[in-house]
Amino acid sequence: MVSVPRLVIAAPASGSGKTMVATGLMAAFAERGLNVSPHKVGPDYIDPGYHALAVSSPARSGRAARPGRNLDAYLCGPERIRPLFLHGAAGCDLAVVEGVMGLYDGAAGQGELASTAHVAKLLRAPVVLVVDASSQSRSVAALVHGFASWDPEVRLAGVILNKVGSDRHEELLREALDESGVPVLGALRRMRAVHAPSRHLGLVPVAERRAEAVESVAALAERVREGCDLEALLALARSAPPLADPPWDPERETAPARGGVGAAGSGADAAGGGGRPVVAMAGGAAFTFSYAEHAELLTAAGAEVVPFDPLRDERLPPGTAGLVIGGGFPEVFAPELSANEPLRAEVARVAAAGAPIAAECAGLLYLARSLDGEPMCGVLPAEARMSERLTLGYREAVAIGDSSLAAAGTRVRGHEFHRTAVEPGAGPEPAWGLVRPERRAEGFVQGGVHASYLHVHWAAVPDAAVRFVAGCARRGG
């Protein structure tokens, strides 16, 4: 049994302020010297970047940095939520889990699956509801009562009132909530808005505005310190019961596909090559979308994971045997990516030599011939451009043929989130056949390249990392 103090920060609807409150709480507790573990319900990549920044307080100097981690019951399956949580929260003093959308909003047409309420129940965690109180007074009690009583298995244990107009307004709200039985744990004024710029896919990632993001997170921490009862919130977190599940372990997850051998003797050794093949993983401001577990799985499968920045680095890391190019915003940096001709040429040479390359969304765009007219790597016979249409939602898919990531017939759950288009949308050998909610071929398999718009969480398919590293090992450096 493992005791992890934990809170889930939820809201009645998107736009209530839960991201700012959750991030502010993480930063405020980290500034007090607590080792805070940040988590996010759902597939979102951007909020975890702010969470990771929030918990990297100078008061925590000397401790290993904690990445923001996602808890997505659709992508990973409900059975993995507690193990993944315990893996990410190991050794922490407090875990703060930011919800997604409204408390009870989950995967479309699938009930509570992947909702904040679903994850809170799986974690047996108390929920704090962030309510936008800007246009109500006594009605707030009816709203909170409805959310508290809708599902008796959800422990709605407190409310933080956001966008409160005045002392009198706060007094009226608190009086109304006295009758609800749900305590008010904070009240934040609607003045002193914290600047957090957005664009076509949400908040601008931390990597693109780090100095400003540091100031924003500091301002959120101050606002939360002033308006929230941190002692009461910490006591509530400590009231969460112990969890009996074993933590998720990338070594254990990859062992069956590795034949049960340890990481030091897997991957390259199993293929007869010796050593650990270098897997270059794209990062920097243009490629900020990555689940922390992917690098952990690649390492457990026998790879040496080395980051590189396609905006700045003119060469791939020495000995690169495979590439992972995840999501991000290459459309924002298309001229700069195009200007780095030496790296584009090297990526094209590596691809032509048959190296395994896993490209998701932004990676797909980078491998295309062009993006908004700017030359890209030219690996794929496709043109990419910005689109007026937002493509967003969970998907179910099956691998149509064998690739560097999956054997034919492998079924996965993924997520699409982009405002770009690629023509054609699929190659002669598609990466996936989407089967839900629509049926269509998608992506490209070409030599060692697997390129697709679909974001897949490898914790649900750890064999993908083993298969990828084994392909890198066979190729060698």
Cα(98)–Cα(50) distance, rounded to whole angstroms? 11
Residue 168: pLDDT over 70: yes
Query: Mean pLDDT over residues 231-240, rounded?
Result: 98
What is the CATH number for 194? 3.40.50.300
What are 461's two structure tokens?
Answer: 């398919």
Query: Which of residues 216, 238, 260 is at a domain's end?
Result: 238
Burial class of 447 by CB neighbour count within 10 A (0 to 12, 13 to 18, 19+): middle
Q: Please report where in the chains the tokens 């915003």 appear, as a residue.
A: 329
Among 405, 450, 407, smallest CA distance to 430 is for 450
Among 383, 262, 386, 286, smallest CA distance to 340 is for 286
Residue type, 406: A
Q: Does 1 fall in a domain?
A: no
Query: What Å distances lie between residue 423 and 188, 322, 355, 381, 429, CA to CA?
Result: 47, 25, 24, 9, 15
Cβ contact 148:103 at 8 Å: no
Query: Mean pLDDT over residues 16-33, rounded?
Result: 96
Residue 212 CB-half CA count within 13 A: 11
Query: Mean pLDDT over residues 37-44, rounded?
Result: 96
Same domain, 307 and 412: yes
pLDDT of residue 58: 64
What is the CATH number for 421? 3.40.50.880
Residue 57: pLDDT over 80: no
Q: Does 212 fall in a domain?
A: yes
Q: Does 243 fall in a domain?
A: no
Q: What is the pLDDT of residues 127-143, one digit of tens each?
A: 999 999 999 999 999 99
Query: Mean pLDDT over residues 307-320, rounded?
Result: 98
Q: What are phi and psi of 219, to 5 degrees?
A: -65, -40
Residue 111: pLDDT over 60: yes
Cis ω on the peptide bond leading into residue 437 (within 30° of 0)? Answer: yes
Same domain, 78 and 100: yes
pLDDT band at residue 443 under the 50/70/90 scheme: very high
Which positions are annotated as active-site residues?
361
What are 115's two structure tokens?
Answer: 């909702």
Residue type, 353: A
Q: Please report where in the chains the tokens 């601008």 appear, as a residue.
A: 204
Same domain, 233 and 256: no
pLDDT of residue 275: 86
Length in residues, the chain: 477
Which segments of 257-382 are extended strands (E)? 278-282, 304-308, 320-325, 357-360, 370-371, 374-375
142 alpha carbon, distance to own chain's centre: 33
pLDDT of residue 63: 64
Same domain, 227 and 343: no
Same domain, 134 and 223: yes
Same domain, 257 and 318: yes
Query: Which of residues 238, 264, 298 is at a domain's end?
Result: 238
Same domain, 178 and 198: yes
Instruction: Reduce the DSSP state of residue 378 to 3 states and report it.
Output: coil
pLDDT of residue 204: 72
Q: Does 216 fall in a domain?
A: yes
304 alpha carbon, distance to own chain's centre: 22
pLDDT band at residue 265 under the 50/70/90 scheme: very low
pLDDT of residue 257: 81
Q: Does 245 fall in a domain?
A: no
CB atoms within 10 A of CB 202: 14
Return mean pLDDT, the chain. Answer: 92
What are 307's two structure tokens?
Answer: 């980051």
Q: Does 86 fall in a domain?
A: yes
Q: Supply the range of the domain harboring residue 12.
A: 6-238
Q: Please report where in the chains the tokens 């977190």 appear, as a residue.
A: 237
Which segments of 295-356 are extended strands (E)? 304-308, 320-325
What are 107's two structure tokens?
Answer: 């995967």
What are 16's two structure tokens?
Answer: 């209530």
Query: What residues are paired with 129 via a beta bridge?
Result: 10, 159
Cis ω on the peptide bond leading into residue 462 (within 30° of 0)? Answer: no
Same domain, 184 and 306: no
Same domain, 283 and 413: yes
Same domain, 186 and 270: no
Q: Does 244 fall in a domain?
A: no
Query: Mean pLDDT over residues 24-53, rounded?
Result: 95
Number of domains within the chain: 2
Query: Which of residues 238, 260, 275 is at a domain's end?
Result: 238
pLDDT of residue 301: 98
CB atoms within 10 A of CB 389: 9
Query: Mean pLDDT over residues 349-368, rounded?
Result: 98
Q: What is the pLDDT of residues 187-208, one digit of tens each?
A: 999 855 565 655 444 567 776 6
Q: Does 352 fall in a domain?
A: yes
pLDDT band at residue 266 under the 50/70/90 scheme: very low
Same domain, 231 and 282: no
Same domain, 260 and 199: no
pLDDT band at residue 264 under the 50/70/90 scheme: very low
What radius of gyration, in Å, describes the C-alpha atoms of the chain? 23
pLDDT of residue 60: 55
Cα(315)–Cα(309) distance, rounded to whole angstroms? 9
pLDDT of residue 393: 95
Which segments of 263-336 are extended strands (E)? 278-282, 304-308, 320-325
Report CA torsion sign: 18, 24, 28, 30: positive
Query: Mean pLDDT over residues 291-312, rounded?
Result: 98
CB atoms within 10 A of CB 15: 11
Q: Which of 57-61, 365-369, 423-427 has the lowest mean pLDDT?
A: 57-61
